[in-house]
Amino acid sequence: MTPRLLIALVLLLPADGRAADDRDKTPGKIPAKQAEFFEREVRPLFVKHCFECHSAKSKPLQGGLRLDTRKDTRKGGESGPVIVPGKPGESLLIDAVRHDGIKMPPKRKLTPREILILERWVALGAPDPRTGGPSLSAVAPDSPQARAWWAFRPFQSSVPRPTDDTWSRNRIDRFVLYRLRENRLAPSPSADRRTLIRRLSFDLVGLGPTPEDVDAFVADDAPGACDRLVERLLASPAYGEHWGRFWLDKARYADALPGFESSTANPWRYRDWVVRTLNEGAGYDDFVSRQLATDLIKDTGPDDLAALGFFGLSPTYWKELKLDISLVRETVAKELEERVDVFGRTFLGLTLSCSRCHDHKFDP
């Protein structure tokens, strides 16, 4: 095993190294980091390498052993318990994946990293947060019942019309006033000029106004002074720089990714594209479509190709041709999974990474 691979695995392991104290804990009492370790590292190995022969779907079930529930995993099979919590060296499961005697999986031995994950899991006491039977959805993902789930129904909301409303200036104000009255509250007094310019400046450009800007705004008695201030702030380069930061967080932008291979030269080009596009006032639809497929859009200029950095800046793990091909494939799968998960979190408000291993219900 290479030093880099070992270091990467150690970083993935739960910080709580206690084993004996957690051997008999129920799923609800398992430390959160150990539960996460099982879900992210152990369960995927079971799904990928074991469930074909050792789950409720196996026809026939091999060796009387099921690994798709916590209860059956602890119970073992025809050869008895396969796990001795806290003792990898005495666990039949570890002997099998090492190919010491029984060879499981029979056709291909697990990678050193995969074996080390299972050894570490057993050493921790084999913490297993699963409850009940195997997770199988009783509802088809695209069924009417699934489409009726609250999170996937089209958003419908009429603008409230509070009675005796002399305060609201637009539809947003009506929502605010409606909720205030629900809680028996009254709107705050209008901000004075000095407070207003500070609020607008910090909100739109992330910077406070200069004393000269404050004095000029306070002295501007002409109609539309507030609108002119907003337009001036929106035209400032600082607007795109300020609001681009929030989007770049979604895109997990960084000038460098310590611990990962450098997959993209000049990542700042994507950062500058985001800032420039926001300052140009691009619509949200265009802003998003450029980042997902600008190379497929007509009339795309060379400068717009930097928009593909949304996916192009994904972390790239270290790998080389001399490594086992199965490890390379697994690493590439992790890189692609990261991109899918970022897409789901950013544009759908859903985490999609769990679908690698779980057959969840249709709800998020």
Confidence (pLDDT) at 131: 82
Instruction: Write the DSSP symbol of residue 295.
Output: G
Closest CA to 77 of 97, 62, 98, 95: 62
Final residue before a domain boundary, out of 206, 235, 264: 235
* Model confidence band, residue 360 (pLDDT cutoffs 50, 70, 90): low
**Selected residue with higher pLDDT from 334 and 249:** 249
- pLDDT tens digit sequence for 9-26: 333 444 444 444 444 455
Number of domains into which the chain is organized: 4
Q: What's the CA gap between 344 and 364, in Å, rounded?
A: 11
Confidence (pLDDT) at 278: 96
Q: Is 138 within the bounds of a domain?
A: no
**Which of 230-234, 277-281, 303-307 shows the lowest mean pLDDT across its residues?**
303-307
Residues 171 and 279 in one domain: no
Closest CA to 274 of 305, 244, 298: 244
Which two structure tokens, joined as six digits, stand for 75? 């119970």
Confidence (pLDDT) at 319: 62
Residues 162 and 82 in one domain: no
Q: Is 18 within the bounds of a domain?
A: yes
Final residue before a domain boundary, out of 174, 208, 235: 235
Which two structure tokens, joined as six digits, stand for 84? 């001795």
Residues 97 and 198 in one domain: no
State the virtual CA torsion across 349, 354, 360, 363 in degrees, nearest 10: -10
Which two structure tokens, joined as six digits, stand for 268? 């700042």
Confidence (pLDDT) at 83: 94
Q: Is 134 within the bounds of a domain?
A: no
* Model confidence band, residue 352 (pLDDT cutoffs 50, 70, 90): confident
Confidence (pLDDT) at 177: 95
Closest CA to 35 of 155, 102, 121, 159: 121
For the cut 70, the answer to whether the pLDDT of residue 88 exceeds it is yes
Q: What's the CA gap between 246 and 250, in Å, rounded?
A: 7
The whole domain housing 221 covers 192-235
Residues 183 and 204 in one domain: no
Instruction: Write the DSSP symbol of residue 347.
Output: I
Residues 89 and 153 in one domain: no
Average pLDDT over residues 100-108: 85
Cβ pair 98, 115 in contact under 8 A: yes
Closest CA to 92 of 109, 107, 74: 74
Confidence (pLDDT) at 329: 81
Q: Is 139 within the bounds of a domain?
A: no
| Four-residue CA torsion sign, 59, 61, 62, 67 | positive
Residues 181 and 198 in one domain: no
* Model confidence band, residue 312 (pLDDT cutoffs 50, 70, 90): confident
Helix (H, G, I), strand (E, B) or coil at 200: helix
Q: Which residues pair with 77 in a beta bridge?
A: 80
Helix (H, G, I), strand (E, B) or coil at 23: coil
Which two structure tokens, joined as six digits, stand for 219? 């002295």
Which two structure tokens, joined as six digits, stand for 292? 């997902």
- pLDDT tens digit sequence for 280-300: 999 999 999 999 999 999 888
Residues 51 and 16 in one domain: yes
Confidence (pLDDT) at 262: 52
Q: Is 241 within the bounds of a domain?
A: no
Final residue before a domain boundary, out of 123, 158, 175: 123
Q: What's the CA gap between 175 and 161, in Å, rounded?
A: 8
For the cut 90, the answer to whether the pLDDT of residue 173 exceeds it is yes
Q: What's the CA gap between 214 and 193, in Å, rounded?
A: 8
For the cut 80, the answer to whether the pLDDT of residue 52 exceeds it is yes
Cβ pair 68, 55 in contact under 8 A: yes
Average pLDDT over residues 130-151: 66
* Model confidence band, residue 4 (pLDDT cutoffs 50, 70, 90): very low
Confidence (pLDDT) at 18: 44
* Model confidence band, residue 318 (pLDDT cutoffs 50, 70, 90): low
Share of the chain above pLDDT 90, in %: 48
Residues 67 and 173 in one domain: no
For the cut 70, the answer to whether the pLDDT of residue 143 exceeds it is no
Q: Is 344 within the bounds of a domain?
A: yes
Closest CA to 229 of 253, 205, 246: 205
Residues 251 and 352 in one domain: yes
Q: What's the CA gap between 351 and 343, in Å, rounded?
A: 9
Residues 88 and 18 in one domain: yes
Residues 118 and 104 in one domain: yes
Residues 335 and 294 in one domain: yes
Average pLDDT over residues 131-159: 69
**Which of 113-127, 183-197, 322-336 shows the lowest mean pLDDT across its residues?**
322-336
* Model confidence band, residue 42 (pLDDT cutoffs 50, 70, 90): very high
